[in-house]
Amino acid sequence: MGKLKVAVLISGRGSNLQALLDACASPGFPARIVRVISNVADAFGLERAKRAGVATQVIDHKAFPSREAFDAALDEAIRTAGAELVCLAGFMRLLSPGFTEAWRGRVLNIHPALLPSFKGLHTHQRALEAGVKLHGCSVHFVTPDLDDGPLIVQAAVPVLEGDDEDSLSKRVLAAEHRIYPLAVKLIGEGRVRLEGRVVHIDGAAGNPAALLNPAD
């Protein structure tokens, strides 16, 4: 079976893109990135893609009269690249319902919180203010509703005494870099089944132990 062809959409530094590029560099990894698309011309992630020898494309949302027109250009670029799966990796544009419906079950997003908690922006600051003891990140399928689609992989990290937004975001980001490649691997291996809004992973080995914070 051939490798799953993936397009990655970015807007910025692209550290999650880098984690995906690194994973795809392993011979046994079941996916490869066929194109990186940015809506921001000077996004550093474009450099990361070029260094890895992956084709890049800039589609500036400001050049389009509407969200639908921008999304149509994205759709065409993704199809032209031959991508079967789309990974949003710090892509800071909302996608229109037309796009998300057309690509239902084939678009992933990574969000820096344990969804359904803390949808939207400034998740780390809001987690600190809420006083949660566990925070984390989620990879989910994209639906028309913001940060609301079926969850595929999540990672929890502790919120430690003395944490600030910077220290907490670094801990979460390290977990993001583990779960995004894992989610793509599971899909590439054909182990992800979507039933309603619940994702089932064939052959998944979960850790049944509770994660306590503070530790007892």
Q: Kindly state the smallest distance separating residue 135's Cβ from ligand GAR, in Å.
A: 12
Residue 13 found at the interface with ligand GAR (CB under 6 A): yes
Peptide bond into 116 cis (omega under 30): yes
Site for ligand GAR in 123-182 (CB under 6 A): 173, 176
Nearest CA to 114 out of 7, 213, 215 is that of 213
Q: Which of 7, 14, 48, 103 binds ligand GAR (CB under 6 A)?
A: 14
Query: CA torsion angle for 130, 135, 140, 143 (degrees, to 10)?
Result: 10
Instruction: Give the end-to-end CA distance of the chain in Å, rounded to a whole number.
Output: 47
* Least distance between ligand GAR and beta carbon 180 (Å): 8
Q: Which tokens go with 31?
A: 């996916």
Q: Is 35 in the site for ligand GAR (CB under 6 A)?
A: no
Structure token pair of residue 120: 């939207």
Query: What amino acid is encoded at 208 in this protein?
Result: P
Number of residues that bind ligand GAR (CB under 6 A): 12
Stretch that binds ligand GAR, among 26-34, 77-85, 107-115, 126-134 (CB under 6 A): 107-115
Which one of 4, 36, 87, 112 is in contact with ligand GAR (CB under 6 A)?
112
Q: How many CA atoms lie within 13 A of 82 on its CB side?
A: 9
CB of 6 to ligand GAR, least distance (A): 15
Residue of 61, 111, 135, 177 marked active site: 111
Instruction: Establish whether 111 is a catalytic residue.
Output: yes
Binding positions for ligand GAR, 190-209, rule CB under 6 A: none
Question: How many Å separate Cα 211 from the centre of its chain?
Answer: 24
User: Rounded CA gap, 49 and 164, in Å?
Assistant: 31
Select from 20-28, 65-73, 106-114, 155-163 the region that touches ligand GAR (CB under 6 A).
106-114
d(C-alpha 94, C-alpha 213), whole Å: 34
Query: Quick check: 107 binds ligand GAR (CB under 6 A)?
Result: no
**C-alpha dihedral, 11 to 20 to 178 to 106, nearest 10°:** 80
Phi-psi region of 98 (alpha: psi -120 to 50; beta: other; left: phi over 0): alpha
Cβ 158 to ligand GAR shortest distance, Å: 18
Q: Give the residue nearest to ligand GAR (CB).
A: 90
Which residues contact ligand GAR (rule: CB under 6 A)? 12-16, 89-90, 110-112, 173, 176
> Which residues are catalytically annotated?
111
